Structure 1
Amino acid sequence: MEEKVLLEKFRQSYRDLELFPLIDWRKVEQFRVDFANHTIARLEQAVEDAPANGKLIFAGHRGCGKSTLLAKFSAQMMEQGYVVTLFSVADMIEMSDINHVNILYAITLTLLNKLQELKINISPDTEKSLREWFTTTQTETVTKDLKTEVGLGGDFFKLITAKLKNEATFREEIKKTYERKVSELAKKADEIAALIQAYTKKEVLVIIDDLDKLDLSLVEEIYKNNINSLFLPKFRIIYTIPIAVIRNNDLLATLQSVTPRVYLMAVCKFFKQGDSHKPDGVPKEELINLFLQILKKRIPEELMEPDTARQIVLKSGGVVRELVRIGRECCSQCLLLIRSEPQRTDIKINDEILQLAIKDLRNDFARPLGDKLYSILVTTYNHLTPPDAKSEEFLSLLHGLSVLEYENDDLWYDVHPIVADLLKRKKLIE
């Protein structure tokens, strides 16, 4: 294969691996692999069986495929007759500055956008009242400036969203305006949801993605101290949280006080408990093949050695994002090799390329680790359970994917395969 063709094929594969999670439905059709259908069925059952104001909490490891699943689930629920609004909180609010107030504000804003998307006819007075509400804050000068910007024309939703995302002063103003009266935010969201439901004769379902990507300190502030505020709106909402939260007893108790259960998207288990550590451990071929399908949708088979593709799958630990990350790093190594050795036409992802990719990823995992964390990792690897599943140190390892949680009849943990390689190199495990 000539250099330019080879370069373009690896470049395209690299780009296709960037398309994760799958949200755009044109890309979903191109790269879709049926995955976690049981989880979708459980979520559908939970929504259908819950009261009209029911709230669901959906947890899982970062990168386990929740966003792609939620996109598929939202389309399915629209077919079931719901008006669904799915949005990423990361697209609307600066991730380091998220709080319960601007989450509720973002919900209200996206519902207003849905109202406009559906071209729902509302009275001029109602439309004026809604715009007045969004452009009125506690500070007179801020209110005046907002009204001036809106009066200049343009897309109202994009204008307010851009301010919420990019302007810390605007987020602070929203927080000061509604921090002590979050019920007003909830009532406004209810008002807009009621307009949608009256016009469409369908119930509203809001799905908020990417809350699971927050730092754990922010998650505690939002979910432990302000969960009741998030549950004020009187329509169905699905919130996402990182899996580490439901391993914190205090936070879990808070969640269980307002919702009957937390729904979990489990990591794929390639091996039975403990078998991954055995030289003769036999993986579940149906799951291996599922992950191979995901990989081959993005990297043409002629660019990968079959045995290496299988190793990429096993090194992912059953986490889709890790599969994508390893595959992308392999493509990057091949692109570098093509540029440095342009005369070669036989370059493909083989064991040598995989080892170069793993080296860089292994170092990424190693940087934040210290003696105490290494000790926790060794104990977890040897016993498939940590010394203290509630400790902040362990929860940080779980949040950062150094440790993965699996669930059969029993709950158990294992070290990420790349981190296990790191422990072996340090001679901390055999």
Structure 2
Amino acid sequence: MTVDIRKFFQATDPGKTLVVENPEDKKYYIDFSSVRGGEIIKKLKQKITFFSPDAPTCVLFTGHIGCGKSTELMRLKTELEHEGFQVVYFESSEDLEMTDVDISDVLLAIAHRVSQSLDKITLEEPSRLKGLLQGAWKVLNSEVTGFKLKPPEMPGVPKLGDIGITSENEKFSLAFGIGEITTKAKSDATLREKLNQYLGPQKTQLLEAINQELLEPAIASLKQQGKKGLVVIVDNLDRLDTRTKSWGRPQQEYLFVDQGEYLKKLNCHLVYTMPLALKFSNDYGNLTQRFDEPRVLPMVSIQLQDGSECEAGIALLRQMVLARVFPEFDEQERLNKITEIFDSPNTLDRLCRVSGGHVRDLLRLLNTWIMEEMELPLSGATLEAVIRARRNEMTMPISDDEWELLRQVRQRKKVSGDDGYQALIRSRLVFEYRDSSESWFDINPILAEAKELQP
């Protein structure tokens, strides 16, 4: 068969999340759990389905951005749905301004997405939530930087009492009402501040209203329909910006530590992605007092802690690459086709090793390589040029102090909790790996050949 290089290029798009319930995507999916330290998604599912199906649970899920969390969460969603749960999955970055997030923003986003998902369920009108939304709408439309409230009769401006009223049936829609407010506030920092000044002191009332007027009646209705419960998966909160709030508190610590009690008190099953840097924060102890130990999705192991190669990890990464071009073939058939795609098996292995087991980085290198070469088989010489370009891009912002920290990581295979290491983790200069007994760290292999790290 002739390989369509354009289709191969499109299949290696590093920005695409695999949705395993989609038959086409399922052909590309590789289960890396055996070389990631355990069945993390299986354990998340068991906590909900076996250990606590009828009582709310809350789990934090973390790992490097791009390591495959979203793909694994989509797999969790599919498996929970097969078990009979209603699952609401959403990417929080679509609803929130990630540079400026407050607890009320997250609560409203969850309420919005849950109410949107209940199109086949009729609930009583949520009077307390409606009142809070009307108050918020009034605040957003009050004087802002000297401009007075727009008259309600102006075209396109709902009357204060009409927030959430859809034109279709003239009835109140919670999803529509929250959508009107969050859309208005997301792109305007002044309005976000006014909204949070209004809702912040009422976050307990907001939480109670969401629980009593939305989540609890929704779950009761779902169970009458034969469902086992409601699970909300909030993805992309790991992309929360690192900047500090106006009063000096880092945003990540503020949301997950200071406001953690509110995140976990929604009366349904919850899974939040969390910034990996919080694992190395001085507030990590406080975080684990509020939540169970966060679940970490580490890199795919390409080598073991003693420096020897992890053949099982390399073998699975080979299959991930080859599945993107031969999705219909079995594992051995794909291996037999390596030299149709690469000039040698060693070239493919070089790609797998230099990725450090970071799935998106591997796909990004491969995607760039295909675009540069434009023909098959892909050559090792072009791969080396792509690696050098990527290394140059990564090394330019690294300070002398960070080079010293990188040398220490390479030697000790561990990191500490100070700010320097947090920066290395955020920048994907250092990766976390796990085997069955412990976690350990190493530098991103692309940096290993940088002149600054040579003896």
* TM-score calculated relative to the size of structure 1: 0.84
Cα pair distance change 1:385/1:181, threshold 3 Å? same
Matching residue's letter, 1:197? I
Q: Identify the match of residue 422 of structure 2 among 383, 395, 401.
A: 395
Kindly indicate whether residue 11 of structure 2 is the aligned counterpart of residue 16 of structure 1: yes
Q: How many residues align?
A: 399
The residue correspondences of 1:196-211 to structure 2 (distance < 5 A) are: 196-201=218-223, 202-211=228-237
Kindly indicate whether residue 80 of structure 2 is the aligned counterpart of residue 77 of structure 1: yes
CA-based RMSD: 2.8
Q: 1:43-65: CA deviations, max 9, x gaps?
A: 11222424712211112122111
Q: Which residue of 1 aligns with 2:146?
A: none
Q: 1:76-105: CA deviations, max 9, x gaps?
A: 111212211111111111221222221111
Looking at structure 2, the residues matched to 362 and 142 of structure 1 have their Cα atoms a distance apart, in angstroms, of: 50
Deviation at residue 33 of structure 1 after TM alignment: 2.1
Q: Which residue of 2 aligns with 1:63?
A: 66
* Contact residue 210 and residue 240 of structure 1 kept, 8 A: yes
Cα pair distance change 1:90/1:324, threshold 3 Å? same
Deviation at residue 39 of structure 1 after TM alignment: 1.1
* Contact residue 209 and residue 239 of structure 1 kept, 8 A: yes
Looking at structure 2, the residues matched to 376 and 232 of structure 1 have their Cα atoms a distance apart, in angstroms, of: 39
* Contact residue 183 and residue 232 of structure 1 kept, 8 A: no
* Contact residue 30 and residue 320 of structure 2 kept, 8 A: yes
Q: Which residue of 2 aligns with 1:333?
A: 372
Q: Which residue of 2 aligns with 1:342?
A: none
* Contact residue 126 and residue 214 of structure 2 kept, 8 A: no
Q: Identify the match of residue 253 of structure 2 among 220, 240, 245.
A: 220
The residue correspondences of 1:272-351 to structure 2 (distance < 5 A) are: 272-275=304-307, 281=308, 283-299=309-325, 302-305=340-343, 306-335=345-374, 347-351=376-380
Kindly indicate whether residue 278 of structure 2 is the aligned counterpart of residue 256 of structure 1: no
Q: 1:294-343: CA deviations, max 9, x gaps?
A: 212324653333322221111111111111121122123224xxxxxxxx
Deviation at residue 376 of structure 1 after TM alignment: 0.5
Q: Which residue of 2 aligns with 1:418?
A: 446
The residue correspondences of 1:366-385 to structure 2 (distance < 5 A) are: 366-385=395-414
Whichever structure has more helix as a proportion of its residues is 1
Looking at structure 2, the residues matched to 140 and 60 of structure 1 have their Cα atoms a distance apart, in angstroms, of: 38
Q: Which residue of 1 aligns with 2:216?
A: 194
Q: Which residue of 1 aligns with 2:99?
A: 96
Cα pair distance change 1:72/1:105, threshold 3 Å? same
Looking at structure 2, the residues matched to 140 and 101 of structure 1 have their Cα atoms a distance apart, in angstroms, of: 15
Deviation at residue 168 of structure 1 after TM alignment: 3.8
Tell me, what secondary structure is at the counterpart of 1:222?
A: helix
Deviation at residue 30 of structure 1 after TM alignment: 4.0
* Contact residue 139 and residue 198 of structure 2 kept, 8 A: no
* Contact residue 86 and residue 207 of structure 1 kept, 8 A: yes
Tell me, what secondary structure is at the counterpart of 1:180?
A: helix
Cα pair distance change 1:397/1:67, threshold 3 Å? same
Deviation at residue 209 of structure 1 after TM alignment: 0.7
Matching residue's letter, 2:306? G
User: Which runs of no fewer than 5 residues in structure 2 stay unpaired?
Assistant: 143-151, 169-174, 243-249, 327-337
Cα pair distance change 1:273/1:86, threshold 3 Å? same
Cα pair distance change 1:286/1:24, threshold 3 Å? closer
Cα pair distance change 1:251/1:35, threshold 3 Å? same
Q: Which residue of 1 aligns with 2:206?
A: 185
Percent of aligned pairs with the same amino acid = 24
